[in-house]
């Protein structure tokens, strides 16, 4: 029972960065722009958060810097894909390499340094409640905000005029353009906001999870977030459930190791990626006849192409 409680209480903190990155990608791709660069934006967000939090001893300034770093890298991606109409797949892969290069170069001097970060809240008696206390009332502030952001993103996307315009641009940009929606501006803003969320995800890993900067700390979570978006069918509400699933699998690894069970470490480290593959296969089989991806996903748009 103790093993299960510790495992479940750790799950939200493992799920939160995946959820933040997935939200960014959903907003991005709902506009019709395919983004495979989450790994690079998360890396830049993690490094920016680490540098600023160390310089000013403020995790709050650090997480703001993380979001800005992710958004800044997304500006480059948006300029390439939305404005210049470059290939979106290639541009996303370049973003991953660019993020890895920038963080490897600028992060050398702070490797291994302890970072000021966001610790678990202490609500006294409430936090001490059996099972519910550690699971719900003993998480860090960023975890709560991550799930709040997901709820707000879902409401905005499906209950507001702005969200309707975003989805319209992703489904049929020519129709949206004919109805007075600026497709280029909408897509560019979606890319930048999505990049900000990916930067937040990286900042979370540095300031609310590991409390240290090491090169390669994203460790493929950007790719898992891409799989999570597909699993969630580009819906923020479904992304919450998916993030908890993937988070539970990742949280299981250190818990099993702590018990001393003789399980090959490399097999355990493969679990999140094997889960991602398995979930994608199951999701594709359950919905073979109709894909819910935006109809214009990955297709560049120019007004002169409208028909």
Tokens 């818990």 locate to 255
List Cα–Cα distances, 95 to 41, 50, 99, 150, 219, in angstroms. Answer: 7, 20, 6, 25, 16
Percentage of the chain lying above the pLDDT 90 cut: 65
Any idea which of 3-12, 20-29, 227-236 has the lowest mean pLDDT? 3-12
For 158-167, how does the pLDDT look when each residue is reduced to its tens digit (9 = 90+)? 999 999 999 9
For range 47-75, the mean pLDDT: 96
Is 70 exceeded by the pLDDT of residue 1? Answer: no
Is 70 exceeded by the pLDDT of residue 287? Answer: no
pLDDT score recorded for residue 275: 83
Residue 213 φ then ψ, to 5°: -105, 130
Question: What is the greatest pairwise CA distance in the chain?
Answer: 64
Is 80 exceeded by the pLDDT of residue 289? Answer: no
Taking the C-alpha atoms of residue 101 and residue 206, their distance in angstroms, rounded to an integer, is: 18
- pLDDT band at residue 305 using 50, 70 and 90 as cut-offs: low
For range 178-189, the mean pLDDT: 94
Q: Is the dihedral of CA 205, 211, 217, 220 positive or negative?
A: negative
Asked, for residue 305, whether it belongs to a domain, the answer is: no
For 233-243, how does the pLDDT look when each residue is reduced to its tens digit (9 = 90+)? 999 999 999 99
Is 80 exceeded by the pLDDT of residue 244? Answer: yes
Which residues lie below 8 Å from residue 174, measured CB to CB, with a gap of 6+? 301, 305, 306, 307
For 118-147, how does the pLDDT look when each residue is reduced to its tens digit (9 = 90+)? 988 877 778 777 778 878 888 899 999 999
Q: Which residues on neighbouring strands pair with residue 114, listed in sequence order?
A: 212
For 29-44, how does the pLDDT look when each residue is reduced to its tens digit (9 = 90+)? 999 999 999 999 999 9
- Here the tokens at position 280 are 């994608």
- pLDDT band at residue 269 using 50, 70 and 90 as cut-offs: confident
Asked, for residue 193, whether it belongs to a domain, the answer is: yes
pLDDT score recorded for residue 306: 59
- More confident site: 307 or 208: 208
Asked, for residue 292, whether it belongs to a domain, the answer is: no
Taking the C-alpha atoms of residue 26 and residue 32, their distance in angstroms, rounded to an integer, is: 10
Q: Which residues on neighbouring strands pair with residue 140, listed in sequence order?
A: 120
Taking the C-alpha atoms of residue 301 and residue 2, their distance in angstroms, rounded to an integer, is: 54
- Here the tokens at position 27 are 């907003």
Asked, for residue 307, whether it belongs to a domain, the answer is: no
Mean pLDDT of the chain: 89
Tokens 């890895």 locate to 100
Percentage of the chain lying above the pLDDT 70 cut: 96
Nearest residue to 42 (alpha-carbon basis) of 147, 248, 196: 196
Q: Which residues on neighbouring strands pair with residue 120, listed in sequence order?
A: 140
> How many structural domains are present in the chain?
1
Asked, for residue 297, whether it belongs to a domain, the answer is: no
Other beta carbons within 10 angstroms of residue 237's beta carbon come to 15
Q: Is there a contact between 230 and 280 (Cβ–Cβ < 8 Å)? A: yes
Is 90 exceeded by the pLDDT of residue 272? Answer: no
Q: Is there a contact between 77 and 37 (Cβ–Cβ < 8 Å)? A: yes
pLDDT score recorded for residue 277: 84
> What is the domain extent for residue 30?
2-287
Which residues lie below 8 Å from residue 93, measured CB to CB, with a gap of 6+? 36, 37
State the DSSP H helix or E strand holding residue 246, giving kind and residue range, or none if neither: helix 236-259
Give the CATH number, domain containing residue 213: 1.10.3470
Is 80 exceeded by the pLDDT of residue 303? Answer: no
Does the predicted model carry a pTM greater than 0.85? yes
Q: Is there a contact between 73 and 67 (Cβ–Cβ < 8 Å)? A: no
Nearest residue to 72 (alpha-carbon basis) of 186, 203, 191: 191
pLDDT score recorded for residue 291: 61
Taking the C-alpha atoms of residue 151 and residue 59, their distance in angstroms, rounded to an integer, is: 24
For range 79-105, the mean pLDDT: 94
Is 90 exceeded by the pLDDT of residue 86? Answer: yes
Is 90 exceeded by the pLDDT of residue 154? Answer: yes
Asked, for residue 298, whether it belongs to a domain, the answer is: no
State the DSSP H helix or E strand holding residue 48, giving kind and residue range, or none if neither: helix 38-56
Asked, for residue 300, whether it belongs to a domain, the answer is: no
For range 223-241, the mean pLDDT: 92
pLDDT score recorded for residue 229: 94
Asked, for residue 283, whether it belongs to a domain, the answer is: yes
pLDDT score recorded for residue 304: 66
Nearest residue to 23 (alpha-carbon basis) of 118, 154, 171: 154
Q: Is there a contact between 191 and 81 (Cβ–Cβ < 8 Å)? A: yes
């Amino acid at each position: 029972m103790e093993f299960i409680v510790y495992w479940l209480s750790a799950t939200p903190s493992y799920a939160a960065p995946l959820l933040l990155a997935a939200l960014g990608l959903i907003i991005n791709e709902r506009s019709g722009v395919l983004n495979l660069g989450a790994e690079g934006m998360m890396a830049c967000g993690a490094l920016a958060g680490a540098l600023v939090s160390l310089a000013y001893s403020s995790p709050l300034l650090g997480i703001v810097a993380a979001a800005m770093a992710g958004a800044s890298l997304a500006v480059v991606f948006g300029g390439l894909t939305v404005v210049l109409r470059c290939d979106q797949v290639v541009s996303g892969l370049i973003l991953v390499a660019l993020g890895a290069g920038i963080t490897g170069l600028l992060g050398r001097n702070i490797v291994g340094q302890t970072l000021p970060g966001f610790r678990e809240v202490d609500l006294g008696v409430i936090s001490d409640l059996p099972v519910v206390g550690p699971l719900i009332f003993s998480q860090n502030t960023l975890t709560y905000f991550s799930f709040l952001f997901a709820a707000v993103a879902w409401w905005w996307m499906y209950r507001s005029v702005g969200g309707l315009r975003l989805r319209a641009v992703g489904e049929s940009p020519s129709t949206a353009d004919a109805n007075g929606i600026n497709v280029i501006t909408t897509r560019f803003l979606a890319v930048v906001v999505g990049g900000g969320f990916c930067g937040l995800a990286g900042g979370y890993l540095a300031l609310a999870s590991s409390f240290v900067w090491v090169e390669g700390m994203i460790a493929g979570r950007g790719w898992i977030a891409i799989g999570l978006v597909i699993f969630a069918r580009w819906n923020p509400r479904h992304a919450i459930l998916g993030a908890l699933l993937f988070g539970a699998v990742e949280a299981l690894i250190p818990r099993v190791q702590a018990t001393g069970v003789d399980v090959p470490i490399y097999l355990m480290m493969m679990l999140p990626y094997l889960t991602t593959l398995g979930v994608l296969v199951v999701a594709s089989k359950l919905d073979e006849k109709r894909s819910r991806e935006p109809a214009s996903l990955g297709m560049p748009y120019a007004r002169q192409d409208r028909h």
